[in-house]
Structure 1
Amino acid sequence: MRIRRLLPLVCLLHLIPVIIAQDAPSNLVVAHFMVGNTYPYTVDDWTQDFQLAASKGIDAFALNIGRDPWEPDRIADAFKAMAMIMAQPNSPLLPTPSFRLFLSFDMSSLPCGSPSDADTIRSLIRAYAVHPAYLLFQGRPVLSTFGGEYCNFGTGSLDAGWASVIRNGVLNGVGGPMGGKEVVFLPAFFIDPGVVGGLAADGAFSWNSAWPMGNYPIDAQDTDAMYLGNLTGKIYMAGVSPWFFTHYGPSTYNKNWIYRSEDHLLSRRFQALITNRARIPIAQIITWNDYGESHYIGPVKGAQPGSQAWVDGFDHQGWLDMIQHYIYAFKYGVYPTIEKDRLFIWGRLFPASADAPSDPIGRPDHHDWAMDRFEILLHLTAPADLSISCGPSNTGGSFPAGISKLSLDVSQNAMTAIDSCQVTTLLMRNGQTVINYVPAGMQWKRQVEGGKGYNFNAFVGASPA
């Protein structure tokens, strides 16, 4: 792995204010959607999520389906909602008329050891890949997975097993324009990229490309290059994510760790994908609603997977607004004009060293990778001056029009006598206040409150749109 020099703390991106109208993008941005968190969903809930995602430029949801017996009913509701929307000419419910859905089989949940397991998955493909709302790429239905590298469906090998699922005329006899076509299979197998390139799949989805896999920033690893170098012209779908923290004990999912999520992970990852967009046709946002791993960008709704302790009160929709700019640039190859001054800020509310003695699970693995700071991203229509503070910690400066990034280091706060501080921001231009934003709830505290557990989730704020 090649290690690159870290970027300076303040990274300025000068953008050309150009918007080019196009009928269809050359690249796609999709979002991973956990069907397992939708038990109480109605058709209206699906419609609301489709509308919100489409309004930000997202092209499709990858519907992660597992083994819960009620999940096929929620999948049916999702496609019913799309059918209702598509039945209305020029529907105002969907700002992006081409918004679509596709199936992503969660092989950490679904069984895959027998031919009957293959039949179960094939039946879902046959039921939905022919639907008008199903995502097509290069004229064929898209299928993906989370995992599945250990599956053989009773055939004795990985390649033959998945061929029994997605080949052998899986769409023969279904009728309609998709009848008899092959699917585009882009699995997220957690194996060497060199092995993936030799499989019968049409390409690959690199789930772990979304985060640094060690104590370094995202652009110090070459995951994309490894995949592109081994796929030999096949389709590559890359991951992009804002954060990672999960906190389950042995009695539930038994996973308790973080990935390094500072260093402006989300924006830097998107910038790398935009730079390489000619070779990366699809970017998948991880995720819309995986609350258990803290990387959700949609509203907190549905049924949480026992993650309330670190999710309740931590809305992440500011990230959704922030990435709309990058989504457009990845899809069309140009950055859109910034039409309104905005400020986005996020970070943890406690020091990484803070103790939570009543938490039976303990500190997450890699907690020492976390940095005690708030990340700030500016959208400016013209040059302006920013000041930001939390107790004795402060930073700021003069910034040009476009996108600028900086960080507020609060590591020294834990060494002072203060117990807490409120984050405040002030943006000035020509002596006039442009933004005076005090994010409600963004209260840094030196100690974890009594009775509460470790929470390395990000608190996200965004000045009004």
Structure 2
Amino acid sequence: MRSRIHCFWLFVAGAIAVANAHPHGSTDKTERAASDSKLVVAHHIVGYTYPYDITDWESDIQLAYNSGLDGFALNVGSNSWESTQVANAYQAAANLGLDFKLFLSLDMTSFPCTTANDASALCANVSAHASHPNQLLWNGNVFVSTFSGSDCTFGQNSAAAGWQSEFIDQLTGSNAVHFVPSFFVDPSTFTTFNDIMDGDFNWNGGWPTDLTYSSAQSELGSNAGDLDDATFPSSAESVLSGNVGAFTSDSQYINGLNSVSGSDKTYIAAVTPWFFVHYSPQTYDKNWIYLADYWSYVVRWETLIANRDQVDVVEVVTWNDYSESHYIGPIEGSQPNSQAWTNGMPHLGWLAMTNYYATAFRNGSYQSITEDQIYMWARPHPKNANASDDSVGKPTSYQLTEDKLWAVVFATSNATVAITTASGTTQTSNVSAGVTKLSMDLVPGSGMSATLTRNGQTVVSLDPGTNFTFNANPETYNYNAFVCYATSG
């Protein structure tokens, strides 16, 4: 049986393939209420859409909708052209006629916020789209989020007073907001924003952000020396993987929200597949990884589905943040000088599997697998490789990762999966109906491929060919992931 392979060459064409793959049902609802809906949205950075026109927005929205997403959180900053792109996004959603929701995520690392006039500009952004049919409403109010902003005073004597008097109190009637910011503060201090926060978005909840090389050494104890190896013993893997996808910070945020007044509080949890950033001290001075091995994206989804009664919205971080390597959308638009670790590193496989988990989160149960699929991802070079032309150096905490590929198999019934990383190096596993996670050591100088067979017939064959090689001698450091997948269709 012929299988469809989706790898390097499918940036735009791959987006079309995903868009046609797994549509989810639509409704005629124009308003979402906390009492009867679970939502899955993706964080879309408007600042990377400078070259977009309305057709580009239509393509993104259609792709996201058909991949199981309910909407976009539009991260908008202070550049004058960004408001035009936001308007284009709303127009594109209207053109498509889909039940696809949009809401603003005001990027307070970009907007000034020291005067009342600064707040007026934010209010104007909200009011411009408040009555749009694709605007997300929450119990009748305009849903608004932020990225940061806990220090914004808007000319008042505190951030709480500033947000209250200059933003929330200024938006009344049909412009009244349901305010769910992402404030980077200790959740035990949420009461500081009593009567202001209608919820919170836990941006960093998708990664084990507190796990560093140093803290992992302490956590591993006598096994700490193993972190210098290409792969780890199972004892070390067990300790490290326990940090991946955990609900620990979610519980802290939920407890913090429970101390805030109000009966309609919204908790947004983050799910994210990866993290690697590689800017020099002369530019943004950001160069580190968060641990994202051990099928992080899948495990985090499983955690959120298991705890869905405590989560109102899941926000995928992100659709298009190429700078930090956690994009699930196609590589398009503009980049913030991240081409060195983004180009040639597709992530559409993560988007393709999103529909399965988003549907389970909304419905509270996993659907049956109806199509055999193999997903596979890996870094492009050994973690201990020495790049020949990279002045930035290895990222902080690079030791946490392993030289392994990570595979996820969606099987309609019992089958055999064979993964190959070099000539004569094949791992064979029997899988049952449902989802199976597999991994295998990578071989420097070789690629990766996989097949799923049943009753003596090859049902799925995945081979990225020359688009992926685990390069023993890279010119520059790249701890991003190359993701590919194949289906039986």
Using the alignment, how far apart are the partners of 1:21 and 1:283 within structure 2?
18
Code of the residue aligned with 1:320 in structure 2: it is L
1:74, distance to aligned residue in structure 2 (A): 0.8
Aligned equivalent of 1:283 = 314
Aligned equivalent of 1:48 = 59
Aligned equivalent of 1:445 = 471
Aligned equivalent of 1:79 = 90
Asked whether the equivalents of residues 182 and 203 of structure 2 are also in contact (C-alpha less than 8 Å), the reply is yes
Using the alignment, how far apart are the partners of 1:187 and 1:394 within structure 2?
48
Map 1:7-406 onto structure 2 (within 5 A): 26-86=37-97, 97-172=98-173, 178-179=174-175, 182-199=176-193, 200-213=196-209, 214=211, 215=216, 216=240, 217-220=243-246, 222-232=248-258, 234-391=265-422, 393-406=425-438
* Cα distance change on mapping 1:318 and 1:171 into 2, 3 Å: same
Asked whether the equivalents of residues 102 and 129 of structure 1 are also in contact (C-alpha less than 8 Å), the reply is no
Gaps of 5+ in 2: 1-23, 30-35, 217-239
1:85, distance to aligned residue in structure 2 (A): 2.7
1:435, distance to aligned residue in structure 2 (A): 1.7
Code of the residue aligned with 1:402 in structure 2: it is G
Q: Bigger CA drift: 163-172 or 294-303?
A: 163-172
Asked whether the equivalents of residues 268 and 314 of structure 2 are also in contact (C-alpha less than 8 Å), the reply is yes
2:438 counterpart SS class: strand
Using the alignment, how far apart are the partners of 1:127 and 1:22 within structure 2?
26
Aligned equivalent of 1:7 = none
Asked whether the equivalents of residues 305 and 360 of structure 2 are also in contact (C-alpha less than 8 Å), the reply is yes
1:292, distance to aligned residue in structure 2 (A): 0.7
1:166, distance to aligned residue in structure 2 (A): 3.3
Higher RCO (C-alpha 8 Å, min separation 6) = 2
* Cα distance change on mapping 1:291 and 1:406 into 2, 3 Å: same
2:277 counterpart SS class: strand
Using the alignment, how far apart are the partners of 2:342 and 2:397 within structure 1?
20
- The question of 1:460 aligning with 2:483 is answered yes
Q: Bigger CA drift: 265-274 or 212-221?
A: 212-221
Q: Bigger CA drift: 390-399 or 230-239?
A: 390-399
Gaps of 5+ in 1: 1-19, 87-96, 173-177, 414-418
1:393, distance to aligned residue in structure 2 (A): 4.9
1:169, distance to aligned residue in structure 2 (A): 3.8
1:60, distance to aligned residue in structure 2 (A): 0.8
1:397, distance to aligned residue in structure 2 (A): 1.1
Asked whether the equivalents of residues 247 and 303 of structure 2 are also in contact (C-alpha less than 8 Å), the reply is no
1:297, distance to aligned residue in structure 2 (A): 0.6
Using the alignment, how far apart are the partners of 2:94 and 2:434 within structure 1?
39
1:82, distance to aligned residue in structure 2 (A): 2.1
Asked whether the equivalents of residues 27 and 330 of structure 1 are also in contact (C-alpha less than 8 Å), the reply is yes
Asked whether the equivalents of residues 26 and 332 of structure 1 are also in contact (C-alpha less than 8 Å), the reply is no
Using the alignment, how far apart are the partners of 2:381 and 2:166 within structure 1?
47
* Cα distance change on mapping 1:134 and 1:212 into 2, 3 Å: same
Aligned equivalent of 2:16 = none
Moved over 6 A (4+): none
Using the alignment, how far apart are the partners of 2:445 and 2:78 within structure 1?
44
Using the alignment, how far apart are the partners of 2:67 and 2:407 within structure 1?
20
Q: Bigger CA drift: 340-349 or 244-253?
A: 244-253
Using the alignment, how far apart are the partners of 2:384 and 2:105 within structure 1?
38
Asked whether the equivalents of residues 166 and 185 of structure 1 are also in contact (C-alpha less than 8 Å), the reply is no
Deviations 1:76-128 (A, max 9, x none): 11122223233xxxxxxxxxx31011000111111111111111101111111
1:22, distance to aligned residue in structure 2 (A): 8.9
1:145, distance to aligned residue in structure 2 (A): 0.8
Using the alignment, how far apart are the partners of 1:304 and 1:218 within structure 2?
28
Code of the residue aligned with 1:396 in structure 2: it is T
Code of the residue aligned with 1:195 in structure 2: it is T
Aligned equivalent of 2:4 = none
Using the alignment, how far apart are the partners of 1:365 and 1:68 within structure 2?
31
Asked whether the equivalents of residues 32 and 285 of structure 1 are also in contact (C-alpha less than 8 Å), the reply is yes
* Cα distance change on mapping 1:333 and 1:197 into 2, 3 Å: farther
1:72 counterpart SS class: helix
- Relative to the length of structure 2, the TM-score reads 0.82
1:320, distance to aligned residue in structure 2 (A): 0.6
Root-mean-square deviation (Å):
1.8
Asked whether the equivalents of residues 342 and 378 of structure 1 are also in contact (C-alpha less than 8 Å), the reply is yes
1:220, distance to aligned residue in structure 2 (A): 4.6
* Cα distance change on mapping 1:435 and 1:324 into 2, 3 Å: same
1:34, distance to aligned residue in structure 2 (A): 0.5
1:229, distance to aligned residue in structure 2 (A): 1.5
1:349, distance to aligned residue in structure 2 (A): 1.4
Asked whether the equivalents of residues 189 and 196 of structure 1 are also in contact (C-alpha less than 8 Å), the reply is no
1:250, distance to aligned residue in structure 2 (A): 2.3
Deviations 1:433-461 (A, max 9, x none): 1122212312112221xxx3110110001
* Cα distance change on mapping 1:219 and 1:76 into 2, 3 Å: closer
- The question of 1:429 aligning with 2:454 is answered yes
Using the alignment, how far apart are the partners of 2:437 and 2:87 within structure 1?
42
1:198, distance to aligned residue in structure 2 (A): 4.5
- Relative to the length of structure 1, the TM-score reads 0.86
1:328 counterpart SS class: helix
* Cα distance change on mapping 1:21 and 1:82 into 2, 3 Å: closer
Asked whether the equivalents of residues 166 and 183 of structure 1 are also in contact (C-alpha less than 8 Å), the reply is no
Deviations 1:180-204 (A, max 9, x none): xx31111111110111254121010
Counting matched residue pairs gives 419
1:345 counterpart SS class: strand
Code of the residue aligned with 2:130 in structure 1: it is A
Code of the residue aligned with 1:439 in structure 2: it is P
Asked whether the equivalents of residues 196 and 204 of structure 1 are also in contact (C-alpha less than 8 Å), the reply is no
Deviations 1:34-58 (A, max 9, x none): 0000001000000011100001121
Code of the residue aligned with 2:249 in structure 1: it is T
